[in-house]
Chain A
Amino acid sequence: EAGVVQSPRYKIIEKKQPVAFWCNPISGHNTLYWYLQNLGQGPELLIRYENEEAVDDSQLPKDRFSAERLKGVDSTLKIQPAELGDSAVYLCASSLTQSAGGVNTGELFFGEGSRLTVL
């Protein structure tokens, strides 16, 4: 079974330029997450989707960040314009959230991440 696929793995851009990251979750996983991982820190949730709906985007800086998950499968995270402080690893993860009454273990499966360097 294929894991979570992210691209690009590495991206170097000048500040004020736009950048986009793509994520393909594990087949059948209805929940998708974007996490931000700064150097030396644990991942922090940016946004969580259940199917097409963003159910938690409270940590997403909406002035410059946007995300979409059309058709409830692949997702794209965009930054426009990028700032020096956005240099980090952007991790995508997916999980299968059962409907009410089902067992929900909360296990997430992560991609390898997209490392962004803003110069």
Chain B
Amino acid sequence: AQSVTQLGSHVSVSEGALVLLRCNYSSSVPPYLFWYVQYPNQGLQLLLKYTTGATLVKGINGFEAEFKKSETSFHLTKPSAHMSDAAEYFCAVSLLYGNKLVFGAGTILRVKS
């Protein structure tokens, strides 16, 4: 069965600083990996996804993530944080040919001015 661990339920960065949100997964087969963002009182929005091919994937709003199979990780980064990035971020995994997403517990990102 798949599972996702997000290290750090809260992360605080200064505006302009690097954003790093950590995600580790476990899966018995090559996974699909996703990062979703959730703004207050809104649904989840896809930031980026890894399916196959290039292990460094770029998403919306300047975010990117790198799939590292040897480390079973899929950390999310952004070189320079913006106030509008403050939200909750969820890492998720699904089976290669399945549609069932398993989510991590989420990381709340706070951006300080």
Contact = CB atoms under 8 A, between A and B. Distances in A.
Interface string B83-113: 0000000101011011111111110000000
A44 B103 contact: yes
Contact of A107 (B46, B98, B102, B103): B46
A14 interface: no
Contacts of B102: 45
Contact of A42 (B94, B98, B105): B105
Contacts of A33: 99
Contacts of A107: 34, 46, 49
Contacts of A31: 99
A56 B105 CA distance: 21
Chain A, interface size: which category? 20 to 34
A40 B101 contact: no
Contacts of B49: 105, 107
Interface stretch (A65-73, A80-88, A110-118): A110-118
Interface string B19-57: 000000000000010101000011111100101000000
A61 interface: no
Nearest to B94: A106
Given A91-B44, A112-B41, A112-B42, A106 B103 contact: no
Contacts of A41: 105-106
A18 interface: no
A46 B94 CA distance: 16
A48 B100 contact: yes
Query: Top 5 nearest A-B pairs by Cβ distance?
Result: A42-B103, A110-B43, A110-B44, A106-B94, A112-B43
